[in-house]
Structure 1
Amino acid sequence: MRLTLIQIDETSSRLRSQFERYPPQFQSLFAAAGADIEWQTVLVLDGDPFPDPATLDGIVITGSKYGVYDSPVWIEPLREFIRAAYAAKTPMLAVCFGHQILADALGGDVRLAPNGWQLGRQIYRFTDDRPACFDDLPETIALLASHQDQVISPPTCATTFLAAPGCPHAGLVYDNGAAISLQPHPEFDRDYATALVGLHRGNPLSADEVAALVRRIDGPLDDLPVAKALAACLGGR
């Protein structure tokens, strides 16, 4: 399987000396899950042009420091790329900001979450509409998150399959049978998630709140079984 990574962010400059760039995070996750994937990367922030999505085997859209309400020069071309990929039924996985811009491009409502930042290890539950590729997973799963925006109302062409009390539309599956998205970050590892939480010390979190979130990150995670399920979703065109 050949996947095209639409990279819309970079590791924080405050963490770049410690951690790899975004593409290896996804590559490492899917390799650890046993998926045989060849990767190519579109560096959106560097001005790389969007390819014709109808010619691609599959697409992964990353997170970003931007919101769907921002107006960088690439955001409307990204929406057009997403709509074209959806129409072509090109397999597409979107994560965090990717989850949000996919919903936004297809008619959903994305805003700042009323309950603020969602950070560290979060527990999500599957709804009755989970895709078949997730059938082997338990009713609830734990994944790492880092976001303050979220999907408030999904587009009419999407169904919620994953939810949490603070994020009721954490996973969406789309009616074209080829697009799926997640608000949490299965590609993050514990060290990176811990470092991201640390960036919020003093704004908006106290030292005690940061320490509590870091302790939770040590709990079990379901990143590998989720990655296996996502690889199956992307490969099953």
Structure 2
Amino acid sequence: MPSLYIIKTGSTFPTFAPDNGDFEDWVRQGLGKNADLEVRVIGANTGEALPDPEACAGIVITGSHAMVTDKEPWSEAIAAWLPALIAAEVPVLGICYGHQLLAHATGGVVGYHPHGKEIGTVPVALTENAESDDLFSGLPATFTAHATHSQTVLSLPEGAVHLASNAFEPHHAFRVGKAAWGVQFHPEFDAPIMREYIQQQAEPLRRDKQNPEELVANVSDTPVAAEVLQRFADLALKGVLK
């Protein structure tokens, strides 16, 4: 039976992971538990082999502290692998780094955001396209989500469906093909994780004229954003149970 694979592209802060888990743990928790859907983790950033598309019920590509524009060999290997998944209509969800890598793999342009870092609990607004999208339809038109990123999708791939934005980040979500989504925000983050990310970057944020104390104070729960992971698991499960 095909499995849902979490493609690990990095790790959280080494001082935070021992007591709080790592990217793949947060994603796995967000996906929920279902006896009919096996979840496996592939350490792509450490050279572990990527699965064949026919073995995949779905793919979640994690965030990373790396940069897509560095074009690390392991990252470019994922980019080269993604088109076959898209062609096979395997459900794909790229989160933050994964979102940008999906865009890069399908002809989009990734680079540093011209206005710097977006971090904290931020508003996200869905486009009209989301109303008929398999992953986003039925969600509120606006919701809050956790974000932390310096790079962004500067230009969407040709033919991509634009799904979400805010005043700072024009490309918070998109879809390519029938079932490959990218989200710049972090549906797997909870409020304590978001606070930790702000606190770990407090000094660089101050240098960039951002107020980390205010950002921490404004962190809140993001239940709608978190729902995206469970919805994605449901889509993958539908394919398994066909």
Between 65-74 and 219-228, the greater mean CA deviation after superposition: 219-228
Q: Which residue of 2 aligns with 1:150?
A: 152
Counterpart of 2:233 (choices 215, 231, 234) is: 231
1:163 aligns with 2:165: yes
Between 160-169 and 218-227, the greater mean CA deviation after superposition: 218-227
Q: Which residue of 1 aligns with 2:13?
A: 12
Q: Alpha carbons of 1:233 and 1:156: their partners in 2 closer, same or farther (altered >3 Å)?
A: farther
Displacement after TM superposition at 1:204 (Å)? 2.8
Structure 2 segments unaligned to the other structure (5+ residues): none
In the alignment, is the contact (CA less than 8 A) between 1:164 and 1:170 conserved in 2? yes
How high is the sequence identity, in percent, across the aligned residues? 27
**Matched position secondary structure for 2:94:** strand
Q: Which residue of 1 aligns with 2:77?
A: 77
Displacement after TM superposition at 1:225 (Å)? 2.9
TM-score (norm 2): 0.89
After TM superposition, list the pairs within 5 Å mapping 1:16-95 onto structure 2.
Answer: 16-31=17-32, 37-95=37-95
**Matched position secondary structure for 2:163:** strand
Displacement after TM superposition at 1:235 (Å)? 4.1
Displacement after TM superposition at 1:220 (Å)? 5.0
RMSD in angstroms over aligned alpha carbons? Answer: 2.2
Displacement after TM superposition at 1:114 (Å)? 0.9
Alignment size in residue pairs: 235
Q: Alpha carbons of 1:35 and 1:150: their partners in 2 closer, same or farther (altered >3 Å)?
A: farther
In the alignment, is the contact (CA less than 8 A) between 1:111 and 1:152 conserved in 2? yes
**In proportion to residue count, which structure has more helix?**
2
- Work out the CA distance in 1 between the residues paired with 2:49 and 2:221: 40
In the alignment, is the contact (CA less than 8 A) between 1:6 and 1:60 conserved in 2? yes
After TM superposition, list the pairs within 5 Å mapping 1:91-102 onto structure 2.
Answer: 91-102=91-102
Q: Which residue of 1 aligns with 2:181?
A: 180
Displacement after TM superposition at 1:36 (Å)? 6.1
Structure 1 segments unaligned to the other structure (5+ residues): none
Q: Alpha carbons of 1:208 and 1:103: their partners in 2 closer, same or farther (altered >3 Å)?
A: closer
Displacement after TM superposition at 1:49 (Å)? 1.1
Displacement after TM superposition at 1:227 (Å)? 2.9
Between 226-235 and 135-144, the greater mean CA deviation after superposition: 226-235
Q: Alpha carbons of 1:157 and 1:54: their partners in 2 closer, same or farther (altered >3 Å)?
A: farther
Displacement after TM superposition at 1:199 (Å)? 1.1
In the alignment, is the contact (CA less than 8 A) between 2:59 and 2:93 conserved in 1? yes
**Matched position secondary structure for 1:150:** strand
**Matched position secondary structure for 1:205:** helix
- Work out the CA distance in 1 between the residues paired with 2:170 and 2:35: 29
Displacement after TM superposition at 1:231 (Å)? 2.9
In the alignment, is the contact (CA less than 8 A) between 1:91 and 1:235 conserved in 2? no
1:117 aligns with 2:109: no
